[in-house]
Amino acid sequence: MSKSIRPDRSGAKKANPANAATEADTAGDEAVSKEAAAAPAAEPSPEAAPSVMEGLLPAQQEGQRCGFVAVIGAPNAGKSTLVNQLVGAKVSIVTHKVQTTRTPIRGIAVEGKSQLIFIDTPGIFKPRRRLDRAMVNAAWSGAGEGDVVLLLIDALRGTDKDTDRILTRLADVRQPRLLALNKIDKVKKDDLLALIAKVSGRVEFDEIFMISALTGDGVKQLTAHLAQSVPPGPWHYAADDMSDVPMRMLASEITREQIFLRLHDELPYAITVETSQWKDFKNGSVRLEQTIYVERDSQKQIVLGKGGQTVKKISMESRKELAALIGRPVHLFLFVKVRENWSDDPARYREMGLDFPKS
């Protein structure tokens, strides 16, 4: 049974996100929360584990359905935004930077008697580096796991070389194929119809939907169709599970999201975050230690900022979101380290949940 993110039902005092985002001190390459520094040195609880829970599966009921929906598309098509909208909670990070999603993320939703498991895959594009190849391989692997494959296209951008490559390979996929055109609120109707004709001329789709992942327009109709498309069978997860992503990984992703949101133009793509320590304290708070890996010292200075101000702000925003997510006070310690060519290190790929390409 996979561990899944679920609503916090512990008796711990709920965190006020405004209070959780206390200012961080910076010493060298470390961003330390004043709140954390002043926190009592309570012994970790015996579990001392990431805040994930194993839910009890409900008894199978007549008419139940359950299946995997692989959401694929070119980078920045809106896949993560759509999955978050479908799940009704944030399970995948979203930024303006292309290829933000690096590994398939599963989000879970219930529609009537159907449990839908959405696989948010990395954007599919022409890979140039080892990390690119690992991400594209992961995306097609996620597509292969789906009972239904949903291709999402940014209607505003239309088709491009990346979409053309996806359509070529999608023609050989045997699972039911759905097409969703995103951002329809920004495109004229005639242009939408022309795009539908162009794409459906390449690949035959079982159904076509026009949606806005951001506003939710059209998503209800898509969800209803998916609920009837997945095969009959028992649910794989508890009714209130939202994701099977380990909380450590989600915590790392949230900090990486804040880095990209704050340093979108200045920082190169080659950056990763690892959660090296997670301690649950008896007073209900959580201590997290995370390391931000960059490839050059100049990148480290960008992340730190003048006098450590940039990493301090990243820490504050990340801590605020983590506290809201788990409903508990969070003491976050950030470290910034240079690891040259980390993207050629198999251990970093294992940490991200990716297979390491040999060449």
CATH number at residue 185: 3.40.50.300
Q: How many domains does the chain have?
A: 2
3-state secondary structure of 20: helix
Edge to edge, the sheet with strand 65-72 lists 105-111, 114-120, 65-72, 148-154, 177-182, 207-210
pLDDT at 177 over 50: yes
**Same domain as 335, residue 188:** no
Q: What is the pLDDT of residues 182-227, one digit of tens each?
A: 999 999 999 999 999 999 999 999 999 999 999 999 999 999 999 9
Number of residues in the chain: 359
Question: Which one has a higher pLDDT value, 56 or 218?
Answer: 218
**Same domain as 104, residue 148:** yes
**Same domain as 274, residue 172:** no
What residues have CB less than 8 Å from 141, skipping those under 6 apart?
104
**Same domain as 199, residue 74:** yes
3-state secondary structure of 212: coil
- φ and ψ at 320, to 5 degrees? -60, -45
For residues 260, 341, 79, 55, the Cα torsion angle rounded to the nearest 10 degrees is -100
The pLDDT of residue 62: 78
The domain containing residue 35 runs over which residues?
17-50+246-352
CA distance 282 to 287: 11
Q: Is residue 321 within 8 Å of residue 254, measured between CB atoms?
A: yes
Confidence of residue 64 (pLDDT cuts 50, 70, 90): very high
Q: Give the global pTM.
A: 0.70
The torsion region of residue 352 among left (phi > 0), alpha (psi -120 to 50) and beta comes to alpha
CA distance 117 to 239: 12
What residues have CB less than 8 Å from 265, skipping those under 6 apart?
none
Q: What is the pLDDT of residues 286-337, one digit of tens each?
A: 999 999 998 889 899 999 999 999 999 999 999 999 999 889 999 999 999 9
**Same domain as 264, residue 211:** no
Residue 93: inside a domain, yes or no?
A: yes
Residue 214: inside a domain, yes or no?
A: yes
Question: Which one has a higher pLDDT value, 245 or 301?
Answer: 301
DSSP state letters, 284-347: S-EEEEEEEEESSHHHHHHHH-GGGHHHHHHHHHHHHHHHHHHTS-EEEEEEEEE-TTGGG-HH
Closest by Cα among 72, 67, 226 to 140: 72
**Same domain as 140, residue 255:** no
**Same domain as 109, residue 32:** no
The one-letter amino acid code at 41 reads A
Hey, how many other C-beta atoms are within 10 angstroms of the C-beta on 175? 18
The least confident of 42-51, 124-133, 136-145 is: 42-51
The pLDDT of residue 108: 92
Among residues 229, 254, 288, which one ends one of the domains? Answer: 229
**Same domain as 210, residue 287:** no
Strand (E) or helix (H) holding 278: strand 272-280
The torsion region of residue 183 among left (phi > 0), alpha (psi -120 to 50) and beta comes to left
The least confident of 32-41, 213-222, 259-268, 292-301 is: 32-41
**Same domain as 222, residue 76:** yes
**Same domain as 220, residue 90:** yes
Residue 234: inside a domain, yes or no?
A: no
Token pair in block for residue 181: 């055109």
Highest mean pLDDT among 56-65, 122-131, 226-235: 226-235
CA 145, 177, 72, 133 torsion-angle sign: positive
**Same domain as 212, residue 139:** yes
